[in-house]
Amino acid sequence: MALLSDQDHQVLSERFAETLEKDVMVKLFTQSQARSLLILPGQDQHSQSQSNEFMKVTQELLEELTSISPKLTLQVYDVFSDGADEAKRLQIEQLPAIILGDDAEGRVRFYGAPVGNEFPTILTDIEALSKSAPMLTEEVAKVAIERIDEQVHLRVFVTPT
Amino acid sequence: MAQAFQVSGVPKTVINDRAEFVGAVPDEIFVNAILQALGKEEVDWAGEDVDGVDDEDRPTSVA
């Protein structure tokens, strides 16, 4: 059963037609279903199966989401097989990891399943990367560009409600 | 990771793994938090002349 309904598809298709300008690359780092069957020593079965659910749901959701617009491309990396090198290069800290944007290191990273309240978050992330102009007010953007002259790393923690 | 950073409830933003703030904030505050974390002077958004326009010349009432 699809995660996004036909109506969701329609709404998102119209929304993306308005909001997307540049192409956006979406890289998902996950583990294969076969690997998910293993219960690792020291890891309790409940959190393992919950984690597997997150992986599965995340992949399915991103497959459906990226199929809605030709400007979105999904690449799935299995970190325990052929995706291992890329995961190491990008220093993936946990799974599932969604890397958005084409820069060498990936501009925006989303760790965890982008479901519930966080679904709109990832939509906005994708749209923000797709636009040419910043989403800030002009004045704030101007000051930020002038005054912030070094790399800044931001972590934003959200807890599911 | 959330446990390492002691997170709960509202969103928490950590800047350069050093400074942090809790909750959603307006853009201006966000930028100031970043500037502060970088050891730079914050912006006085109310008083600062950021657009180069001399505000004295701007008409304040419509005739």
Interchain proximity A152–B50, CB inside 8 Å: no
Output A88 or B61, whichever has higher pLDDT: A88
CATH number at residue A88: 3.40.30.10
**pTM: predicted TM-score of the whole model, two decimal places:** 0.81
Cα(A146)–Cα(B23) distance, integer angstroms = 26
Domain that holds residue A141: 6-147
Instruction: State ipTM.
Output: 0.80
Q: Provide the pLDDT for residue A159.
A: 75
Q: What residues pair up with A77 in beta bridges, in sequence order?
A: A29
Q: Provide the pLDDT for residue A39.
A: 67
Interchain proximity B1–A93, CB inside 8 Å: yes
Q: Provide the pLDDT for residue B50.
A: 52
Q: Provide the pLDDT for residue B2.
A: 65
Domain that holds residue B3: 1-44
Say if B33 falls within a structural domain. Answer: yes
Q: Provide the pLDDT for residue B20.
A: 93
Interchain proximity B1–A94, CB inside 8 Å: yes
Say if B28 falls within a structural domain. Answer: yes
Interchain proximity A155–B37, CB inside 8 Å: no
Q: Into how many domains does chain A fold? A: 1
Say if B54 falls within a structural domain. Answer: no
Q: Provide the pLDDT for residue B54.
A: 52
**Residue of A143, A151, A158 to mutate when probing chain B, most B C-beta within 10 A:** A143
Say if A11 falls within a structural domain. Answer: yes
Say if B32 falls within a structural domain. Answer: yes
Say if A159 falls within a structural domain. Answer: no
Residue numbers in A near B7 (CB within 8 A): 157, 159
**Which residues in chain A come in under a pLDDT of 50?**
none
Q: Into how many domains does chain B fold? A: 1
Q: At residue A128, what are phi and psi to the nearest 5 degrees?
A: -60, -40
Say if A126 falls within a structural domain. Answer: yes
Q: At residue A57, what are phi and psi to the nearest 5 degrees?
A: -60, -45
Output B18 or B53, whichever has higher pLDDT: B18
pLDDT over threshold 70, residue B8: no
Say if A153 falls within a structural domain. Answer: no
Say if A161 falls within a structural domain. Answer: no
Question: Average pLDDT over chain B, rounded to whole?
Answer: 77
Say if A124 falls within a structural domain. Answer: yes
Cα(B26)–Cα(B21) distance, integer angstroms = 12
Of the candidates A136, A153, A159, which has its C-beta nearest B27's C-beta?
A: A136
